[in-house]
Amino acid sequence: MNIPKSNFSEWYNSITKDAQLCDIRYGIKGFVVFMPWAVMSMNRMYAMYEDALERRDHLPALFPALIPESYLTRESDHVKGFVPEVFWVTEAGLNKTEERYAMRPTSETAMYSMYSLWIHGTRDLPLKIYQRCQVWRYETKATKPFIRSREFHWIEAHNCFATREQAMAQVYEDMEMAQEIIHGKFCIPFIFFKRPQWDKFAGAENTFAADSLMPDGRTLQLPSTHMLGQHFSKAFDIKYTDEAGKSEYVWQTCYGPAISRIYAALIATHGDDKGLVLPVRLAPTQVVIVPILKEETKAKVLEKCKEIKKALECCFVVKIDDSDKTPGFKFNEWEMKGVPIRIELGMRDIDAGIAVVARRDTGEKMKIPFAELDAKLDEIAQAIDKNLLSKADTWFATRLSSATKMDELNDILEKNPGFVKVPFCTDEMQGEKCADLIKEKCQANVRGSKFGSDEVPKSEKCISCGAHATIYLYAARQY
């Protein structure tokens, strides 16, 4: 790595290439090949998220990638929001299709057409189903691997309930899940915002989205959860018969952790000037053993390396790098790829009964007796993840500011970009003009109100129009 992280955009492009995370040379703009080192981490991320969903009674399924246009157009707000981004299939072989088929931009309309066939009575509720899949959207902004592309990989959960209260409880559970997994396991800080009405998911009553920050202070949306109300159940005729024999529409929610985008946040949050830095639980290789070889002792050193590898494999994913590259080259390569723990082992170390262990996150080296290696590495692994979380949280806190005037907001976004709390007239539709003014003057977007905060302005004025402020919203520049 020759580019410092302070030059984030170029650093990010460099690390995704040098660490072999993806290849952008595929023949369609915005479509990227995800390479093994990235996919192995993403698979671990999927597994953790799917486990969290299934512990909360979600069941997995797989739905078709093609959605008939007649399905997609049933909910008016939804189609208005997504049709401009749709890839359409109109031919099959030498024949025209009976109608246009949308490449799945999101799966509400595909899944709910089936839910109306599956749900009949209270015994069928709640229905909580998720799928791991790809979605396609004709993104017109500049694309960037993992951050913004025309094909991305995610999990989407779609749920039906008998009451509004049950549906809202699911929204809260989705937010709790994000806290448990993204913050607790991936060590990525974020804030959940209730999106303003002009920026909610197309077809939802309300949207709640987890926004993180990249090193340049721009925000990146991670998972969002949506209270759909009965908009889709009425459009798709999803009803159940209650205990009194009355037919009622279900209440619905949906939730979308975009794993490929969360992976971008993982790269950006923890990486440094040397390359990737990965939480131990997400690293494709967690411990790399680098033998220091001389021809006369090579066999003994490699034998000891294999012995250590076998002892550690019960707890870690371990690799021995016995390639012909120099030790220095190997150190740099594995540091760039973010392997959390490195063991250096030469004949002198074997004679002394110790292994030299290096931490990727701090660069600290320590000499550990062979008999203590298993227990010590477990301690080190826990310390690494704890350190990454603490470091990320500390940095994130420095990027939270407030402003009451437009020029003050613009000054903060230039000098210390991040989330800026501003007094605002309203988060209802009539507030969109004020949000547009912030976008025009500060090149920033209004992200919404901080979920769980009951703080309200007392005598402040809207930062845009000067009217009485009724709510605090947060502004940020975004990807």
∠ CA 229-230-234 to the nearest 5 degrees?
165
pLDDT score recorded for residue 142: 73
Whose tokens are 């845009």? That residue is: 464
More reliable by pLDDT, 38 or 77: 38
Closest CA to 130 of 102, 160, 152: 160
**How many other C-beta atoms lie within 10 A of the C-beta of residue 424?**
28
Predicted TM-score (pTM) of the model is 0.95
Mean pLDDT over each residue of the chain, to the nearest integer: 96
β pairing state of 318-320 and 206-213: unpaired
Q: Which helix (H) or strand (E) holds 424?
A: strand 419-424
Q: Is 24 exposed, middle or buried (0-12, 13-18, 19+ CB in 10 A)?
A: middle
Helix axes 298-312, 373-397, angle to 10 degrees: 70
**Do 366 and 349 contact (CB within 8 A), yes or no?**
no
pLDDT score recorded for residue 143: 79
Give ranges for CATH 3.30.110.30 in the chain.
400-476
Looking at the structure, give the CATH architecture of the domain made up of residues 400-476.
Answer: 2-Layer Sandwich (3.30)
CA-to-CA distance for 229 and 193, rounded, in angstroms? 19
Give the lowest-confidence range in 76-80, 213-217, 227-231.
76-80
CA-to-CA distance for 349 and 368, rounded, in angstroms? 10
| Domain 285-383 CATH superfamily | Anticodon-binding domain (3.40.50.800)
**How many other C-beta atoms lie within 10 A of the C-beta of residue 95?**
7
Q: How far is CA 57 from CA 11, 50, 53, 170, 180, in A?
A: 41, 11, 7, 11, 16
Q: Which residues contact residue 289 at a Cβ distance below 8 angstroms, ignoring those fewer than 6 apart?
A: 305, 308, 309, 318, 319, 320, 321, 342, 343, 345
CA-to-CA distance for 220 and 44, rounded, in angstroms? 21
pLDDT score recorded for residue 73: 87
pLDDT tens for 412-428 read: 999 999 999 999 999 99
Whether the per-residue pLDDT at 75 is higher than 90: the answer is no
CA dihedral sign of residues 127, 210, 189, 42: positive
Q: Which residues contact residue 223 at a Cβ distance below 8 angstroms, ignoring those fewer than 6 apart?
A: 174, 178, 182, 209, 210, 255, 256, 257, 258, 262
pLDDT tens for 234-254 read: 999 999 999 899 999 999 999
Give ranges for CATH 3.40.50.800 in the chain.
285-383
* Confidence grade of residue 350 (pLDDT, cut at 50, 70, 90): very high
**Do 212 and 190 contact (CB within 8 A), yes or no?**
yes
Q: How far is CA 299 from CA 295, 304, 311, in A?
A: 8, 9, 19
State the distance between the two ends of the chain, measured CA to CA, in whole angstroms: 24
pLDDT score recorded for residue 82: 81
Looking at the structure, give the CATH architecture of the domain made up of residues 8-270.
Answer: 2-Layer Sandwich (3.30)
pLDDT tens for 374-415 read: 999 999 999 999 999 999 999 999 999 999 999 999 999 999
Q: Is 256 exposed, middle or buried (0-12, 13-18, 19+ CB in 10 A)?
A: buried
Q: How far is CA 460 from CA 100, 406, 423, 434, 463, in A?
A: 51, 13, 7, 15, 9
CA-to-CA distance for 176 and 192, rounded, in angstroms? 10
pLDDT score recorded for residue 379: 97
Whether the per-residue pLDDT at 141 is higher than 80: the answer is no
β pairing state of 445-450 and 419-424: unpaired
More reliable by pLDDT, 20 or 72: 20
Strand runs (DSSP E) across 104-249, as ranges?
127-136, 151-161, 191-194, 206-213, 219-229, 239-241, 247-249
Give the lowest-confidence range in 126-130, 139-143, 451-455.
139-143
For the record, the structure tokens of 468 come out as 């009485």
Residue 22: strand, helix, or coil: strand
